[in-house]
Structure 1
Amino acid sequence: MAETIDTQELGEKIVKVLKTIYDPEIPVDIYELGLIYDVFVNEDYDVKILMTLTTPNCPVAETLPQEVEEKVKSLNKVNDVELELTFDPPWSQDLMSEEAKLELGML
């Protein structure tokens, strides 16, 4: 019987990695900031991440998605990473977690 890893377990590891990546202008990780819209993991351990930026003209528009892709690819078992950048819906502060809002003094 081949070794199997639960795709949900891998998804949780991916989220942990995403929580180590910070927007340089806001002292909150990109996951809690609400920049990650979705993470998909298929049976072949291919990962697709749907994310946005705070604005289309964000100063890290070229480097942040690349950092996300590289860090997720570095995880054991991840076969391939496809990152899709979207601005629909546009990011707003409503997408931030309660933890992020608390960290930024918005609660």
Structure 2
Amino acid sequence: MNEELQALQDKIVVMLRTVYDPEIPVNIYDLGMIYDVDIDEENNVAIEMTFTSPSCPAADYILMDVQLKVESIPEVNKVDLNLTFDPPWDRSMMSEEALLELGMM
């Protein structure tokens, strides 16, 4: 990955760390809900993500928050979100910071 793409990737991760599930006091990135962030040569961003549960009551809110926040980065052209449940989320996907925050370590 070249320097420009890496810088944009870093900005996207910073922005994703500002998105929270209202029921869990940890951001969705550290929860492991972001499976992939792909940036093409035109700075279109494709994000593959999941929820902790397929029946997440805050799903619409979280998706809208991700969309708006990543689109707010000036270098980003377009954002496509791909919601998947394969593989299903489990706590092994959480960062050490998330596990500590939730008292699971």
TM-score (norm 2): 0.95
What SS class does the counterpart of residue 17 from structure 1 fall into? Answer: helix
Of the three residues 93, 99, 102, the one matched with 2:100 is 102
For the residues of structure 1 that align with 2:70 and 2:59, how far apart are their CA atoms?
18
Query: Which stretches of structure 1, 4 residues or longer, exceed 6 Å deviation after superposition?
Result: none
Deviations 1:26-65 (A, max 9, x none): 1000000000001011110000000000111101111211
Of the three residues 40, 56, 59, the one matched with 1:58 is 56
Alignment correspondent of 1:6? 4
Q: Which runs of 5+ in 1 are unaligned?
A: none
Alignment correspondent of 2:13? 15
For the residues of structure 1 that align with 2:19 and 2:60, how far apart are their CA atoms?
14
For the residues of structure 1 that align with 2:5 and 2:96, how far apart are their CA atoms?
27
Deviations 1:53-95 (A, max 9, x none): 0111101111211110111001011000000000000110110
Structure (1 or 2) with the greater helix fraction: 2
Counterpart residue identity of residue 38, structure 1: D
Measured on the aligned residues, the alpha-carbon RMSD in Å equals 0.9
For the residues of structure 1 that align with 2:64 and 2:83, how far apart are their CA atoms?
11
Of the three residues 75, 78, 85, the one matched with 2:76 is 78
Of the three residues 38, 41, 61, the one matched with 1:40 is 38
- Identity of matched residues, %: 55
What SS class does the counterpart of residue 10 from structure 2 fall into? Answer: helix
Of the three residues 64, 88, 91, the one matched with 2:89 is 91
Deviations 1:6-26 (A, max 9, x none): 111101000000001111111
